[in-house]
Structure 1
Amino acid sequence: MEELRFSIDEEKYDDRHGQVLSLGGWYAGSDRQEMSFCLVGDGNQELVLADPERYERPDVAQALEADFGEFLPGFRLRIPKADQLAEQFQQIELFLTDGEKRVSVWKKSADELKSFLNQSLLEYHLDRVEILYDTMLEIQGWAVDQRGETEITALNQDGSPFACRISRGRRPDVAERCSLDEIYKNQEIGFRISASLDEISGKKLLLKFTGSSVEKAYEVDIQKLRKEQRPKGFFNRLLNRQENTQGDYEQWLKRHFLSRRQAWKQKHTSFDRKPLISIVIPLYCTPLPYLKELIESVRKQTYGNWQLCLADGSPDENVHEFLKKNYRHEVRISYKKLKSNGGISVNTNKAMELARGEYLMLCDHDDTLEPDALFEIVKAINDQDAEVIYTDEDKVSMDGQHYFDPHFKSDFNLFRFRDNNYICHIFAVKRQVAEQAGYFRKEFDGAQDFDFIFRCCEKAEKIIHIPRVLYHWRCHMDSTAADPESKAYAFEAGRKAVEEHYKRMGIPAKVEMTERPGWYRSRLEIQGNPMISVIIPNKDHTEDLELCLSSMAKRTSYENYEVLVVENNSEEKETFAYYEKLHERYPRVRVLTWEKEFNYSSINNFAAEQAKGEYLLFLNNDVEILTPDWMEEMLGICQQKEVSIVGAKLYYPDDTIQHAGVVLGLGGIAGHVMCRASREDAGYFGRMVSVQEISAVTAACMLVDACDFRAVGGFDESFRVAFNDIDLCMKIRDMGRKIVFTPYAELYHYESKSRGLEDTPEKQYRFEKEITRFREKWEDQLKKGDPYYSPNLSVTEGDCSLRED
């Protein structure tokens, strides 16, 4: 068996004719002798095989520069009942043998084999994907499912249905070429998709092929297609010289840089208040080129009343000599050489001792500022009497040439901050507030700024976010900016910082680190044992209701709750028979009867009047509970000061996100952010995995403080079907209370089964009427935008992509 060469270059599975796995390939030894195949299960049980089909392989002969003569190197081996083998053995392995020795040529574990067999049931191919006349997208191909027919759907990048025309047709050529059964010659396995490019939202299109037991997807990169089919050379430059790549952050940033005209105007702006801003920076072995970039970025500020406070804990005199040589005439720089390196907290406090300013601003020793950073901070001080100010930021490469990973932040969001230090840079604080809070604490080194920001925000009354990228964080491998594992100690210090915050606030809570370094989970202790009234409107659809109630009964760990099922206009006799036995099967359940026409708001208000609970949990009948502590999670948050409503994380049955909070203005009125993203997707800067204040949540699963619900008059009954939950959240926020989303209360949502689609003129008229009413009622808030969603992010796409001007 010397110099044996082989390859398995074809694996096929025929489910329709004996569950046959076919392996095709070739082998050739130096002696050109025919060999035998041996199939072995779990390393010791030899299985019977039929003789393989043998054939020539001129391609192999050419590649090996060999003359095989009468020897046929090609083979096709058939292994019947492959699905049974996957159940019978943990591993199967194919060997070539000459009777004395054997060589393994193919091997699969049971799980690998099962996966391959399942994936082989559905096969598709795209023959043509192209853009025609720069206006139309055309896709042609075929799809075959061995156990039935294949359904084809097209989705936008955000998961929404895509308006296109899909036609099906016969493809006897494919049936013949792929040796398919006669049945496939008359089956419409071919497809053609035609669409206008104007109908496509986003850069990509997703094609989903759904068979009887498997689903596959293909991503069409529209942006790449456009580029590939543009004119080349001179005509390309002529037609596209002004083009900016959509979604390209560096191009976006160029369009938002401070212009010379804006800089001149800022330099000549006279503020009523002109506070001295002391920029506080601890130094330790700082690379001098980086320090120079930082200092120059400060000197280029359009607001000139600043002080740069440098406390140097380095063991050498390099920085001192550099400053004397290059900046000895810059009187705004204050420098102190420390006798020893006390660590980042001690060194920062030493820098603060140099500060004379009314405001202190934190900065790292190797980062840079945008020229209008201080101007925007002083503007916020003048316009809004800000005591704490923070801005957006991005990262800059080590050579300072590339900007990436922009962090467009929420307005102040305490619950989000408890999960992760999203504020970070720039952070500026009124000196008086900082003194009340206390400066940096050495025991929190690694998360010293997290701890400091917490204490400052606890004392400040006016916390202002400036939604502009004014800080560039240099990214290197020793920084948590790029390598979170390199500072594991910092994350434990961060956990302690959150825990200390809760203690100061008098909130009983346990803080845990999560799988994401630097992200924390707070488990809030429930006060007392309040009753929760779960309100579920229902019309027929008893299967949905049964799944909802049974999953609640089986999985819910909280015990003090009641369930009010509100019967409204059911038509099926089986529904009422189901109701009769409901209380016996689920003792917590009461059935109420709504006898008027359908009005979601009125139905829930009616039930709320009869609810006994201190908290109302509005729930759709088409949900399934996933997390046992979902009620405790929501209740613990809802009991917090100023919180009135808590929403849950909902998934479609395919484990994509249905609801993770509502963004005001998204899609025109309000929309679900990151809808159709993967269940595992952390979202934009951890948005999908963080507890956070938010503008609104869906009433498909919404916990509300009953007193607050009644204080705002419950649901507005003029919103019969749509926007009633968003309107309720707006009313609650209008009275100064908070809405919070938690990712730790998880449910499946089989959306819109009960109510159906807006598919009649009457329903569409009602829907448009409710849109108009919502827009008129909340016009000012819609104009201002969502405070928990950056104005730099798209309101047409729900994926937190860049907003295009």
Structure 2
Amino acid sequence: MTLRVSRSLLAIKSYINYVRHHNTAYCTTEIGKEKAEEKDLQNFNGKNKKVRYRFDEVKMSDGMFTLRGWAVPNNKMDNIIFQLYDEKKCLMEVSTTQVKRPDVGLFVFEDRNADNFGFILQFSMEKNKIFYLQIIEADKDGKEKNRYTVPLNRKDLARRARWEYSSIFKTYTYLKTNGVRRTVTKIVRKVLRMDMVNYQRWFERNKPGKAELAHQRQVKFSYRPKMSIIVPVYNTPLNFLNEMIQSVQQQTYSNWELCLANGSGNNKELNAVLKQYADADARIKFVVLEENKGISGNTNEALKLATGDFIALLDHDDLLAPNAMFECVKVLNRNPEVDVLYSDEDKVDMDGKRHFEPNFKPDFNIDLLCSVNYICHLFVVKKTLVDQFGGFTSKYDGAQDYDFIFRSIELSNKIYHIPKVLYHWRAHMDSTAENPESKLYAFKAGVTAIEDHYKRVGINGTVEMGPYYGMYRSHFKLPYHPLVSVIIPNKDHTDDLDKCIQSLMRTTYDNFEIIVVENNSDQKKTFDYYKKIEKENEKVTVVYWEHEFNYSAINNFGVSYANGEYLLLLNNDTEVINEDVFEEMLGYAMREDVGIVGARLYYEDDTVQHAGVIVGIGGVAGHVFAGAQANEPCYMGRSLCAQDYSAVTAACLMVRKEIFEEVDGLTEEFAVAFNDIDFCLKVRKLGKLVVYNPAAELHHYESKSRGYEDTEEKIQRFNGEIQKFQKRWKKFLLEGDPYYNPNLSLNCNNFSVDMTKGGIFGRKG
């Protein structure tokens, strides 16, 4: 370990030196500031007390700049005002939108309610001009208390926009703001996988305190099911065994039984410990097996001891949270129809002290389950269901719990997810949690478990191991090859349109037609291209929309010409990457339970543009994992896993035409934005799934035809559509996206833990 740390520190030192010496021309916190200007600005700066601020994002389009970031006054009760001046110190127009940033308030003032520090600034800048952004601190009555000036110039802003997602830029900014020592610490944590400090702090703040646990012990439920906790034991280290049993004994709900089957043979010391616990607590039962029957056989022996109403699975070296059974029974009292429950989980180190890698799960997600065993722990199922399918099967040893979960959910759709960390998975070198290579056989057994699940539910599918251990990719055989109508709205940009069409022609699927919906093109060459492509390609038909731009109406118009059983809504600035994209999307779309299928989209630089949509991010909806590298698994591998979401982008969206018509197509009130999210939610209300399939890959060059929402008129329309969406889907937004865990932040798109949850200094009691 010492050698690794030393080498890592040398690498870090070299990296910081590189950042210092190679990036100063590009990135400064005060964009465009030059030494020669500082003296000249002293009078213009007012009281000249520095304001804490940051530009998180810079975008540029047609001379219009958008700055997103935050600025914090020295007193949290004060306000921040922005003013923009030109070189002659004349006031210029700047559009300011306030954005709530509870994360900033929490870490600056330790007050998550002090959240009015985020901003979006939009303004235009001429070339070769210097501008001055003034950040003004004012009290609640508007009286100015401090004024700080940030010089800006167009060239440096444009350069900053291009470097926005550079890791070097981020490191330099962090270095400049926080100093070498903190930067080294941050990088060391990442290099040595020690960057879970934030989660440990979150865990301490959100776990139930002594007072809460005492209260739970006094609760009298009207329904008190017996919870049978099943544990197969095999040569368990005694310290782990003791901690596991004690975690059960510490449950605040008392009507449980612990059923242990020891397959260790003549391990006298271990048997003595089990007997000691059983003698002291009548709720603890154990059996010593004459031979090791394997993980499935041993677990079945433990199951034979169970007399409870529900079965809960626990590994012999893991830990239950003290409120685990209480939370399950609380759900069962409120929802007596529930047959299956599962909770969130995290990992715990060898000492059982440090918690890390939380798995904050979505509500039940069948396609994610077929991509990775995201349910895993804690899993609780009604015993009558287990009696029906007969427990565990040795065929799946290593993935026996995966198969057990599949068999349970096949018999009941009354499944409840508890979004609380109720299970702590021990991570030591022999455990799958820490060392996946230690149990490769388990991942191969997972392939069999998924394929057999498909057979039992009547899906013709095969499975292969995915790009990372524990991840799987499914392939579905199409029962037939339906006609697919590809709908492509277009305005000029014939080079992009032709690239899109030619990429479709390179695919391996033949039964499709292309309907180009012309809308408001200006260039003669566009119409010449239409004549040429229709003449050369019998699959292409051009239809003409002769009204103002309305994305929803244009697509609805195009669909009225479609002959296909399935529709593929496709942007003209996309390009197919994998040749089997139709088969990949149809494989899911042709399932009876699926309504919509979306694809994995990349920017031109091969970073992720779309990997699913979470409703509620940023107050409306947002693409998850945008900007991630193509092969980056992201949070719990979800970027690379097929799964169900509440919505996907209509830049590439497949839907059965019958379903499209049943929900009356795209809602034309949403002329530009959120029409695809609204459409997906309408289809979800039919009880159909919206599936994201990462194996369907395209480039998306994004908004080339129309440009960005960067004029005053466009911004007003965009804000109006936000309000319409929030009003139309108010209940959904309040309840939260079922495919996004409530413990995750809605202020970013990378599934970060919401650090504003829980008390600042932890719960007392």
What's the TM-score, normalizing by structure 2?
Answer: 0.77
SS at match of 1:610: coil
Q: Aligned residue for 1:729?
A: 680
Q: Which residue of 2 aligns with 1:405?
A: 357
Matches within 5 A, 1:211-250: 217-220=168-171, 228=179, 248-250=198-200
Q: 1:588 corresponds to which letter in structure 2?
A: K
* C-alpha deviation, 1:208, in angstroms: 6.5
2:421 corresponds to 1:522: no
Q: Which amino acid aligns with 1:677?
A: A
**Secondary structure of 1:220 counterpart:** helix
CA distance in 2, matches of 1:307, 1:216: 52
Establish whether residue 455 from structure 1 lines up as the match of residue 407 from structure 2. Answer: yes
Tell me, yes or no, if the aligned pair for 2:54 and 2:69 is still in contact at 8 Å: no
- Cross-structure match for 2:204: 254
1:423-462 matches, within 5 Å, as 423-462=375-414
**RMSD (Å) for aligned C-alpha atoms:** 3.4
Q: Is 1:125 matched up with 2:24?
A: yes
Shift of 1:792: 0.9
Say whether residues 1:135 and 2:47 are aligned partners.
no
Contact 2:599 2:697 in 1 (8 A): yes
Q: Distance in 2 between matches of 1:621 and 1:153?
A: 25
CA contact (8 A) 2:344 2:419 kept: yes
Is 1:210–1:216's contact at 8 Å kept on the other side of the alignment?
no
Contact 2:196 2:356 in 1 (8 A): no
* Structure having the larger proportion of residues in strand: 1
Within the candidate set 304, 313, 328, 2:263 is matched to 313
1:323 deviation in Å? 3.2
Q: Which SS does the other structure have where 2:373 is aligned? A: coil
Per-residue deviation, residues 671-704 of structure 1 (Å, max 9, x unmatched):
0011111112111011110000001000000001
Q: 1:781 to 1:154 in 2, by over 3 A?
A: closer
Once residues 600 and 26 of structure 2 are traced to their aligned partners in structure 1, the CA distance between those partners, rounded to angstroms, is: 40
Deviation (angstroms), 1:276 = 0.1
The answer for the alignment partner of 1:566 in structure 2 is: 517
Q: What SS does the corresponding residue of 2:170 show, helix, strand or coil?
A: strand
- Kept in 1, the 8 Å contact 2:27–2:172? The answer is no
- Asked if the contact 1:625/1:746 (under 8 Å) is kept, the reply is yes
After alignment, is 369-378 or 577-586 more displaced? 577-586
Who wins on radius of gyration, i.e. which is larger? 1
Distance in 2 of aligned mates of 1:781 and 1:224? 41
* Paired residue type of 1:470: L
Whole-Å Cα distance in 2 between the matches of residues 166 and 749 of structure 1? 37
CA displacement at 1:300 relative to structure 2:
1.1
The code of the aligned residue for 2:333 comes to N
Correspondences of 1:539-578 after superposition (within 5 Å):
539-553=491-505, 555-578=506-529
The range that moved more, 759-768 or 620-629, is: 759-768
Partner amino acid, structure 1, of 2:586: L
Unpaired runs of 5+ residues, structure 2, are 1-17, 31-47, 56-64, 71-81, 88-126, 138-147, 149-156, 183-194, 757-765
CA distance in 2: counterparts of 1:190 and 1:342, whole angstroms: 78
Residue deviations 1:310-366, cap 9 Å, x none? 111112122221233455221110111111111110000000000000000000001
How far 1:577 sits from its partner (Å)?
0.9
Deviations along 1:170-212, one digit per CA (max 9) or x if unpaired, are xxxxxxxxxxxxxxxxxx999999997999xxxxxx9977999
Quote how far apart the aligned CAs of 1:641 are.
2.3
8 Å CA contact 2:53–2:69 kept in 1: the answer is: no
The 2-side partners of 1:531 and 1:788 are apart by 31
CA distance in 1, matches of 2:345, 2:630: 27
Structure 2 equivalent of residue 501 of structure 1: 453
Q: AA paired with 1:563?
A: I
How many residue pairs were aligned? 629
Distance in 1 separating the partners of 2:741 and 2:623: 15
* Deviation readout 1:703-725 (Å, 9 max, x if unpaired): 01111111111111111111111
Taking a change above 3 Å as real, the CA distance of residues 138 and 310 of structure 1, as seen in their structure-2 partners, is closer
Once the two structures are TM-superposed, the CA of residue 221 in structure 1 deviates from its matched residue by 6.4
2:213 maps to 263
Displacement of 1:153: 11
What amino acid does structure 2 have at the position aligned with 1:494?
G
Percent identical? 46
Instruction: State the AA in 2 paired with 1:219.
Output: K
Q: In the alignment, what sits opposite 2:416? A: 464
The answer to whether 1:300 aligns with 2:222 is: no
How far apart are residue 155 of structure 1 and its match?
A: 8.7
Distance 1:430 1:621, change over 3 A: same
**Partners of 1:690 and 1:226 in 2: CA distance:** 36
SS at match of 2:431: coil
Of the candidates 624, 645, 649, which is equivalent to residue 673 of structure 1? 624
1:557 corresponds to which letter in structure 2? Answer: T
- Give the Cα–Cα distance (whole angstroms) in 2 for the partners of residues 446 and 537 of structure 1: 50
Q: 1:406 and 1:338 mapped to 2: Cα distance?
A: 35
Pair 638,134 (structure 1): closer, same or farther in 2 beyond 3 Å: farther
Matching residue of 1:149: none
1:291 aligns with 2:244: no
For 1:463, give the aligned amino acid.
Answer: I
Correspondences of 1:540-619 after superposition (within 5 Å)? 540-553=492-505, 555-619=506-570
Match of 1:699 among 650, 661, 676: 650
CA distance in 2, matches of 1:197, 1:128: 23
1:675/1:193 CA distance change after superposition, 3 Å:
farther
CA–CA separation in structure 1 for the residues paired with 2:557 and 2:466: 41
Q: Which has the higher contact order (CA 8 A, sep 6+)?
A: 2
Equivalents in 1 of 2:274, 2:242: separation in Å? 9
Q: Which amino acid aligns with 2:532?
A: K
Contact in 2 for aligned 1:306/1:332 (Cα 8 Å): yes
- Aligned residue for 1:493, secondary structure, equals helix
**Partner deviation per Cα, 1:356-384 (whole Å, 9 max, x = no partner):** 00000000001111111101111121222
The 5 Å alignment of 1:86-165 reads 124-125=23-24, 135-136=51-52
